[in-house]
Amino acid sequence: MNSQLVEQSEKLAIEGGMPIRSTLLPYARQFLSEEDIEEVNKVLRSDWLTTGPKVEEFEKAFASFVGAKEAVAVNSGTAALHSSMFALGIVEGDEVIVPTMTFAATANAVVFQKGTPVFCDCDPQTLLIDPVKVEEKITDKTKAIVAVDYAGQPCEYDELREIADRHKITLVSDACHALGANYKGRAVGTLADLNTFSFHPVKPIATGEGGMITCESYESAEKMRRLRNHCLTSDHRERQEKGAWHYGMEDLGYNYRLSDIHCALGLSQLKKVNDWTNRRREIAKKYNQTFAQMDSVTPLGLRDDVTHAYHLYVIQLELDKLSVDRGEIFKALRAENIGVNVHYIPVHMQEFYKREFGTGEGLCPIAEQSYERILSLPMFASMKDEDVEDVIEGIEKVINYYSK
């Protein structure tokens, strides 16, 4: 490489240099095999596109995979969270403790039921909900705690369970990041009273859109199955099998159904969870080894009693050692075609919650400070080793350039 090309490769792309990659490497994406496509095609050739046999088949397979008694398929992770709040009977005046370091849907699901989300701060190393701060938030109006397995690392469920049981409130797991993870040898999906999952394309498995709730209670599962079908007393398949037409509506429900098309894809993808989780852990190990040598980048803390699913790989920038803020680092990496992202803006800082619930700056200071420092790096099972090296090279290039 001549000196001019060397200079171009070392110069940041944002300043006119040669980018690390010629095309953008996204932070996450789905992977579909020919087997996945063929399973969907079989449903398209069948008599049932929705409310058919694949729904129950997917539910049973998912429950078996995580070790739960019941699984209820719905059409998104948001629907899974809302269905959980419905099953718990959350109503106006009830409070539900939620972490602020999460996607807005975690809190929104409480509001859908006219409940009040009470935002809780996080541990500064893991960004998981802090059990000590959870205890401080409990009042006589508290009905549930929602623990979010941020980035794919399970929360401290033994401590949260002890708190929930002592106060006679329900523990809910937002495990949308964490399919394939374990906590003290127990699978995510069995760690709380209700456990929710998402099958959005960037999640551990993809059905296009989709979600699932797992639990041990048949009664709770039946409530959620009714909710997803307008709270009707029967669905189309049940009526057809009985040769009947009559149905009743016992409550106000929603169309949260997941189609047989989606369920067929989910069944096929479910077979790959363990292999894909292992691959993401391999990528994380390479990232960890690199960033352990960098003063300006700190990976999130990892407890030794869990196996991490690594839906996200999040770093925290040591801004006191850099000459620019996170926004400039973000733009510089994007210019290198490294598709970094940010997860998340603390929910209590969103305009809706400021306006409707009076939240604002200073409510959860650790999450607010961490938000200014975090970046999510590309992390998905179909990444090639060369992709991983590109990310590492891009981080080193940009961070070294902006280091003080």
Q: How far apart are the first and last CA of the chain?
A: 29
Neighbours of 123 (CB within 10 A): 23
- Whether 196 and 288 share a structural domain: no
Same domain, 243 and 304: no
Overall pTM > 0.85? yes
Q: How do the residues of the chain divide into helix, strand and coil, expressed in percent and rounded to 5?
A: 40, 15, 40
Q: What is d(CA 349, CA 82) in angstroms, rounded to the nearest whole number?
A: 21
Q: Are residues 210 and 176 in the same domain?
A: yes
Same domain? For 281 and 259 the reply is: no
The pLDDT assigned to 128 comes to: 98
CA distance 159 to 403: 39
Q: What is the pLDDT of residue 9?
A: 65
Q: Which domain holds residue 214?
A: 34-270
Same domain membership, residue 251 and residue 283:
no
Please check whether residues 185 and 120 belong to one and the same domain. Answer: yes
- Residues recognised as catalytic: 203
Cα of 364 vs its chain's centroid, Å: 20
Give the Cα separation of 372 and 188 in Å (integer). Answer: 29
Whether 99 contacts 148, CB under 8 Å: yes
Q: Which among 49, 114, 118, 109 is positioned nearest to 79, based on CA atoms?
A: 109
Q: Are residues 58 and 23 part of one domain?
A: no
Pairing mode of beta strands 374-377, 211-215: unpaired
Last-in-domain residue among 236, 270, 304: 270
Q: Do the beta carbons of residue 97 and residue 118 sit within 8 Å?
A: yes
pLDDT computed for residue 2 by the predictor = 42
| Domain closes at, from 213, 243, 270 | 270
Q: Please give the tally of structural domains in the chain.
A: 2
- Pair of tokens at residue 7: 């200079």
CATH number at residue 244: 3.40.640.10
Asked if residue 62 lies in contact with residue 71, where contact means CB atoms within 8 angstroms, the answer is: yes
Instruction: Encode the chain (404 residues) as per-residue pLDDT tens digits.
Output: 444 444 556 899 999 999 999 999 999 999 999 999 999 999 999 999 999 999 999 999 999 999 999 999 999 999 999 999 999 999 999 999 999 999 999 999 999 999 999 999 999 999 999 999 999 999 999 999 999 999 999 999 999 999 999 999 999 999 999 999 999 999 999 999 999 999 999 999 999 999 999 999 999 999 999 999 999 987 877 777 777 777 889 899 999 999 999 999 999 999 999 999 999 999 999 999 999 999 999 999 999 999 999 999 999 999 999 999 999 999 999 999 999 999 999 999 999 999 999 999 999 999 999 999 999 999 999 999 999 999 999 999 999 999 99
177 touches 149 (CB < 8 A): yes
Burial of 317 (0-12, 13-18, 19+ CB in 10 A): buried
Domain boundary residue, one of 270, 299, 334:
270
> Both 265 and 281 in a single domain?
no
- In this prediction, residue 6 carries a pLDDT of 46
Domain co-membership, 225 together with 309: no
